[in-house]
Homo-oligomer: A and B are copies of this chain.
């Protein structure tokens, strides 16, 4: 339990310039209210957050082939694969679930603001991956995964690390390792579950009381593909 309260930190990513994302433009447009972003063009006005790097805008517009202002899971998969890594459709769905507003009218599609958040977050995961993949093998092993998650505030117990590694290696934990896709998926799952848990553990006691319905509703979105 000594490390438990570290899980409450988690402030190392999700905001601020990510380690490996494109640098912010030097002349950002002036901030505008977050409810009505200041600019947009194309078939449908597309609202990017102020200061979005042109490369990220370009990636979104290239993916949004029908110019609808939102991209579906296959378009997102294409956009991310060209910039970061080949992500499985399962990972892509998890990312859409985690980054979309739960009250969104189109929960299976992602708008520009969510895309920018996701892009920046993946840049940070890439930076973490590269930092902890010390031998440049392109893989993160269980010790490195433990350290990487700890570096961003998640003290994940060894038994859970073993479960994660084993499940991405056909059930065999020993000598298993994760590539970037699986690392992101693991990291997002730990992050997402921890945030859900924290919503029920507002005083950071390390335990939470859940109803059966609440438990199912909390967990099932992470499970089904």
Check A90–B225 contact: CB distance below 8 A: yes
Confirm or deny: A39 has a beta carbon within 8 angstroms of a beta carbon on chain B.
Answer: no
Indicate if A33 sits at the interface (CB-CB under 8 A).
no
Chain B residue at smallest Cβ distance from A104: B171
Q: Say whether A81 faces chain B, with CB atoms less than 8 Å apart.
A: no
Q: Are A225 and B168 in contact (CB under 8 A)?
A: yes
* B-chain residues with CB within 8 Å of residue A207 when the two chains form the complex: 209-212
| Interface residue tally for chain A (C-beta within 8 Å) | 47
The complex places the Cα of A107 from the Cα of B156 at a distance, in Å, of 22
Task: Specify the main secondary structure of chain A where it touches its partner.
Answer: helix
Does the CB pair B107–A213 fall under 8 Å? Answer: no
Question: Do residues A212 and B206 form an inter-chain contact, with CB atoms below 8 A?
Answer: yes
* Inter-subunit contact B160/A220 (CB<8 Å): yes
Q: Which of B108, B213, B220, B222 contacts A171 (CB 8 A)?
A: B108
A115 at the interface (CB under 8 A from B): no
A224 within 8 Å of B (CB atoms):
yes
Partner of A224, one of B108, B168, B221, B224: B168
Establish whether residues A160 and B216, one from each chain, have CB atoms under 8 Å apart when the complex forms.
Answer: yes
Q: Across the interface, do B219 and A186 meet the contact criterion of CB distance under 8 Å?
A: no
Q: Is A189's beta carbon under 8 Å from chain B?
A: yes
Q: Are A167 and B221 in contact (CB under 8 A)?
A: yes
Bound: A225/B90 CA distance, A: 9
Known: A207-B212, A209-B207, A223-B222. A217 touches B163 (CB 8 A): yes
Contact check, B217 vs A167: say whether CB atoms are below 8 A apart. no
